[in-house]
Amino acid sequence: MYNSYFKTDRIFFLLCIGIIILFFISLTSKINHGSYSRIFTTIINKYSNSIQTKSSFDDCQWKFDHYSPSPWELYWYNNITYLQNQVCSKLKENDQINKSIRSLEYIINLQRTIYNKSFLSNEYDELFSKMYYKYECSTSSQLDRIVSQYIEPLIGLLRDPLTICSYENLPSTLKISGSNEIQSKRFFLLGPSAPYDNFHMSTISIAPWLYQQNSQKILFDIGASLFNGVNDPNTVSSVIGARWFYEYFQLNSLSFDRIIAFEASQYSPRTYWQQIPDDIIGRLTFINVGVEKTGKFNPWNILKSIVKKTDYVIVKLDIDHSILENQLIEQILNDKSLSILIDEFFFEMHITVNEMKRFWGSPPGQLKDSYLLFTKLRQLGIRMHSWP
């Protein structure tokens, strides 16, 4: 009985082995004669197509498309020659005050975080201007996409609209005085905090049209002075540059990969470096000479040598040397390979206007010249801001 079952199992096992051998012989024959070649070709083509799709996706990139001023900005832009000598009287009108309060409260709230969701309403479109970006693809299978992002409007003296002029009955949360008023940086809406439309990011990060992962976040501080603004390492002045950007980044869990600081005034190394926070001391390059129009100390030559298009680049220019400042600005206007590398630009343009004579005197130019310049730079894709 046992031997019978054993013989049956053995015969069945050998039969299965034979069937498997015949199957592989048949398969090999058909492959050699091309019967299955179409199957493998299909698999290979499908894989190749998936690679091509990925490659096509990689050919897509964000580009600046155009700048659109808000109705509030357009009013000031179109009437700035008339308003040149009555800026404060216009800003103190009820309608203008209400707009200033609404926009400032909104910006102050936005500055506290990184924006990573598409705004759902257009309730601030009357106040805020927009930068438009296009997602372009080299293949026809991918559709271009347009995204708009807010930026503070160019209005009034191109600075915090609730400063300089004398106001009554402002909300207590918006009242500031003294040097804090003159140096107010409340009206800046930087890219990381600025709402955008028609796009949603699942993670908190800088928008992809300004910065791509594994790229660098770089600050060029031209006219850097001391990090604290004063010699005393235990005192912080309102007249700060790199420190303000550092604190804004720190508030939002960001950090600069590089900081390039230019300063013509001579400081002892210990005086300068003892004010630099430990977490950026190895990332900061301090160039203690004045910038120049050409040569190795031209800041744009240095910028172009270390910056990539995918980096997020902030430039602050404030050297109180109007001729050289204007020359450096002209170089940006005339060099697209330079302007395309700059995401945010902060510049204090000294001109003659009654409200600022006590600070600036009577230099060449009028307010309309500032409006024209800042608009041109925004039209190049640079988020242009007026430094106080």
Q: What is the pLDDT of residue 314?
A: 99
Q: Which of 60, 55, 155 is nearest to 98 (CA)?
A: 155
Q: What is the pLDDT of residue 138?
A: 79
CA 318 from centroid of its chain's CA atoms: 20
Q: What is the pLDDT of residue 15?
A: 65
3-class DSSP state of 25: helix
Q: What is the pLDDT of residue 20?
A: 65
Does pTM top 0.85 for this prediction? no
Return the bridge partners of 220, or none.
Answer: 260, 315
pLDDT digits (tens, 9 = 90+) for 26-85: 545 544 444 444 433 443 343 333 323 233 345 789 999 999 999 999 999 999 999 999
Q: What is the pLDDT of residue 36?
A: 42
**Phi, psi (rounded to 5 degrees) for 134:** -115, 135
Which residues of the chain are modeled with pLDDT < 50?
Answer: 2, 4-6, 27, 30-57
**Phi, psi (rounded to 5 degrees) for 228:** -90, -5
Domains in the chain, CATH or no CATH each = 60-204 (no CATH), 211-342 (3.40.50)
Q: What is the 3-state secondary structure (H, E, C) of 71-90?
A: HHHHHHHHHHHHHCCCHHHH
Q: What is the pLDDT of residue 50?
A: 32
Q: Compute the distance between CA of residue 60 and CA of residue 50 in angstroms, rounded to an integer.
A: 16
Q: What is the pLDDT of residue 173?
A: 95
Q: Exposure pattern of 280-292 as b/e (b: 16+ CB <10 Å)? A: beebbebbeeebe
**Phi, psi (rounded to 5 degrees) for 263:** -150, 125
Q: What is the pLDDT of residue 192?
A: 96
**Tokens 């220019």 correspond to what residue?**
317
pLDDT digits (tens, 9 = 90+) for 109-159: 999 999 988 787 889 999 999 999 999 987 766 677 899 999 999 999 999
Cβ atoms within 10 A of the Cβ of 253, count? 9
Q: Compute the distance between CA of residue 294 and CA of residue 204 in angstroms, rounded to an integer.
A: 40
**E strand or H helix at 50:** helix 37-58
Taking each helix axis from N to C end, the angle separating 299-306 and 322-334, rounded to the nearest 10 degrees, works out to 40
